[in-house]
Structure 1
Amino acid sequence: MSLEVMTIVVLAAMFLVGTIRNVNMGLLGLVAAFLVGLFAVGMDLDGILAGFPLDLMFALMGLTFLFGFAQQNGTIDLVLSWSLRAVRGTVALAPWIFFALTGVLMGIGAIFAIGVVAPLAVPFARRYRINQLMMGMMVVHGGMAGMLSPLSVYGIYVNNFLLGQGLGGSPWSLFLCALVFNTAIGAVVYLVMGGRSLIGKRVGEESGPAGTPAPGGAVPGAHGESSSVTTSVRTAVRVTPYQQLTLAGLAVLVVGAGGFGVDIGVLSIVIGTVLAVANPSEAKKSLTNVSWGTIVLVGGVVTYISVLQTAGTVDFVSGGLVSMGSVLVGALLLCYMAGIVSALASSIATIGVGLSIAAPLLQTGELPAIGFAAAIAIASTVVDVSPFSTNGAMVLANVDASERDRYFKQMLIYSGVIVAVGPALAWLFVLLPL
């Protein structure tokens, strides 16, 4: 077995063991990087550790630390309340409000956006007789619409990769690709799954299978944290000074990182520290919200990818795609590979592997770097509607228990359609001169 094939087998084993045994793939990646790098490739320890992405780790740590404050002190709930008030009694707007809200939260770095919004959106749909599957999918696609923002974890990762390969970065073009793609998918979902029937319906016409609302606006069987979803449309919310400080910090993050190019990791850590000094007890809680699992996942996978590059595996796979005679066909196959793998495994890990394989193809200059990178990222994340993914499972968990089996089957059908056509649609970005 050649070195290149052996490293691919190890990579496949990482995905397989991580998925079946539910082990953080980053841990497996670090172990694989050390063993393969030291004993098969002949690298030294310093060379292996040089592949660990410290800058990305600071960004992940800072963002999740900062948004831990926003989640703990009720700032996220405040934004949700304001967004729901924007419905102004028009139920037909609700799916798009939740779509936009999830996209904005994801776009400014809240990687938990779907997990926060889904427990509110799905009970809202149940109360007002909106298709719960449609609402859930709108939330997921909304999150994916904002995923390549210059301030988001995915956007930072993809843009840094392009810059590291000397391919130039265009963070706003990447963001626009994801925004347009997922908004278009969202529009189709809205129209096909009953959005048109909501037009003209007003808040207060909510009779249906969810039953009579309990006192205070809660829905029987809904999660406790969702009891204020429907009443918040009409109820003003008091903003505390600490929430005002948090909102100001988020505004500084958006303006500083998005407008002036300040390093988002450094800036988010500084803002988070200011919030910690203002309220030390909140700091302890926010540290528990730091996404250490994601940090380990990204760090381990990226480190192993650097070993693959040193071993020549990336060039080996890319050469196989080029030898097919058409770079475009190779790009299409790579998009499908990313989509299928990501439906069962980590999206950001799949993006990392896909971009690494794509790098030699991009170096030829035959394909637009931004369009190809966006295609791989979109193909890897659009399949997160699967009930086996974290985001899809979050939606399913909030569907009414009596209907969960039926919605599980519907989600399987929907995710199957997305896996079948999503990568091909994402591949169309390769044809754009971005």
Structure 2
Amino acid sequence: MTPHWISIHALIAMFVLATALPINMGVIAFVGAFLVGTLVAGMNTKAIMGGFPADLFLTLVGITYLFALAQNNGTIDWLVRLAVRAVRGRIAAIPWIMFLIAALLTSVGAVSPAAVAIIAPIALGFAARYGISPLLMGLMVVHGAQGGGFSPISIYGGITNKIVAKAGLPLDETATMLASLGVNLSVALLLFLMFGGMKLLRQRADAIGAMAPVRRVAHGQGGAQVHGDAEGGSFGEERRTAAPDTASLMDAPAADPAAEGSRLYRMATVAGLIALAVLTLFFKQDIGFVSITIGLLLTLMAPHLQKRALGQVSWPEIMLIVGVSTYVGVMDKMGTIDF
């Protein structure tokens, strides 16, 4: 069997093993890169590590860390409350507000499952209060998260654009982003019409104030999951570090005005997210370094939030992506990709 076929069969075995057992495929891929690289391709460690995507690793860590800070300091909850108040009693606009907020979060770096896990309990609380279909509200959140997921500074968009550019294929980052947003927006409009949207257009609330407390509708495992997303780990870290009575995002009190509930801190976070978009889109700065720099500035304002934010970084996904990328790099140097 030729070295090319050995590397291909090893890749297939990785998928089978990661599917059959609760083991992160990134760990398997790193071991595969080492074994195939040294024993089959005769590569040294330096050559194997040459395939490690350092820029992608920095991007993933930076934007997920920055987003975790924005979640923990109450900025997301604050933005949702402001947006809902802005509709001035137009109940039909609430599902679209949730769509836009979810799209905004993923467009600036939030992982889609994380954005949905944060916004869904809030959205379902509004659905229960104002008689909106919970199915409609949930689907609007999901499609909003997917709609913003391919912006040039998002995780999925960044990965896709780098892979396409590396392959030498035609690339239009704006077209990719708008295509994803357009498809999900069209589906959301169809769902809105199917699940009572026209009825909501005829309804109006006198005022939209503070809603009743909403308990979190989903909890992760006590520790980080072996594979899959990092929600279990982040929820576990949140339970260990948050105040005892912070049962939901909507009714969580601001324990420390300087860190948790400060209007100045929230405005600084929003300014940081805007700066991230401007510096990366218009000044072509590296999104990984920019996001970590902004995250550090926010952390200096509230140092005690760092531990919780680091626990919410999507380490399993990062391990998966960089591990598989490293193995693919070994296959590329072996000539298997061209084979």
TM-score, length basis structure 2: 0.79
Structure 1 residue 148: Cα displacement: 1.0
Counterpart of 1:64 in structure 2 is: 64
Q: 1:272 aligns with which of 278, 295, 298?
A: 295
Counterpart of 1:195 in structure 2 is: 197
- Higher helix proportion (structure 1 or 2): 1
Structure 1 residue 284: Cα displacement: 2.9
1:185-229 superposed Cα distances (whole Å, 9 cap, x missing partner)? 2222222233333221233799xxxxxxxx962368968415559
Counterpart of 1:347 in structure 2 is: none
Counterpart of 1:294 in structure 2 is: 317
C-alpha distance in structure 2 between counterparts of 1:51 and 1:220, whole Å: 45
CA distance 1:310–1:133, shift in 2 (3 Å): farther
Counterpart of 1:394 in structure 2 is: none
In the TM superposition, 1:11-26 aligns within 5 A as 11-26=11-26
Counterpart code for 2:108: I
Counterpart code for 1:134: L
1:251-276 superposed Cα distances (whole Å, 9 cap, x missing partner)? 21121112221111111111111122
1:136 aligns with 2:138: yes
Structure 1 residue 46: Cα displacement: 1.8
Aligned residues: 300
Moved more, 138-147 or 182-191: 182-191
C-alpha distance in structure 1 between counterparts of 2:251 and 2:291, whole Å: 30
In the TM superposition, 1:320-339 aligns within 5 A as none
Contact preservation (8 Å) 2:77, 2:250: no
Contact preservation (8 Å) 1:123, 1:226: no
CA distance 1:226–1:240, shift in 2 (3 Å): closer
1:55 aligns with 2:55: yes
Counterpart of 2:44 in structure 1 is: 44
Structure 1 residue 313: Cα displacement: 4.0
Counterpart code for 1:116: I
Structure 1 residue 35: Cα displacement: 1.6
Counting aligned pairs with the same residue, the percent is: 39
Structure 1 residue 294: Cα displacement: 2.1
**Mind listing any 5+ residue stretches in structure 1 that lack a counterpart?**
207-214, 230-237, 317-434
Structure 1 residue 145: Cα displacement: 0.8
1:250 aligns with 2:273: yes
1:261-297 superposed Cα distances (whole Å, 9 cap, x missing partner)? 1111111111111122222222233222222222211
Q: What is the SS of the residue equivalent to 1:314?
A: coil
1:47-85 superposed Cα distances (whole Å, 9 cap, x missing partner)? 221111000111111112212221111111111111222
**Mind listing any 5+ residue stretches in structure 2 that lack a counterpart?**
219-246, 253-260
1:305-337 superposed Cα distances (whole Å, 9 cap, x missing partner)? 222333444345xxxxxxxxxxxxxxxxxxxxx
Moved more, 99-108 or 186-195: 186-195
**More relative contact order in 1 or in 2 (CA 8 Å, sep 6+)?**
2
C-alpha distance in structure 1 between counterparts of 2:249 and 2:66, whole Å: 24
CA distance 1:222–1:172, shift in 2 (3 Å): closer
C-alpha distance in structure 1 between counterparts of 2:98 and 2:211, whole Å: 22
Counterpart code for 1:159: N
Q: What is the SS of the residue equivalent to 2:89?
A: coil
C-alpha distance in structure 2 between counterparts of 1:294 and 1:69, whole Å: 18
Structure 1 residue 38: Cα displacement: 2.0
1:361-381 superposed Cα distances (whole Å, 9 cap, x missing partner)? xxxxxxxxxxxxxxxxxxxxx
Structure 1 residue 110: Cα displacement: 1.8
Counterpart code for 1:262: Q
Counterpart of 2:149 in structure 1 is: 147
Contact preservation (8 Å) 2:216, 2:248: no
Counterpart of 1:10 in structure 2 is: 10
Contact preservation (8 Å) 2:214, 2:251: no
In the TM superposition, 1:144-183 aligns within 5 A as 144-167=146-169, 169-183=171-185
Moved more, 191-200 or 142-151: 191-200
Counterpart of 1:122 in structure 2 is: 124
Counterpart of 2:328 in structure 1 is: 305
CA distance 1:167–1:199, shift in 2 (3 Å): same
Root mean square deviation, CA, Å? 2.7
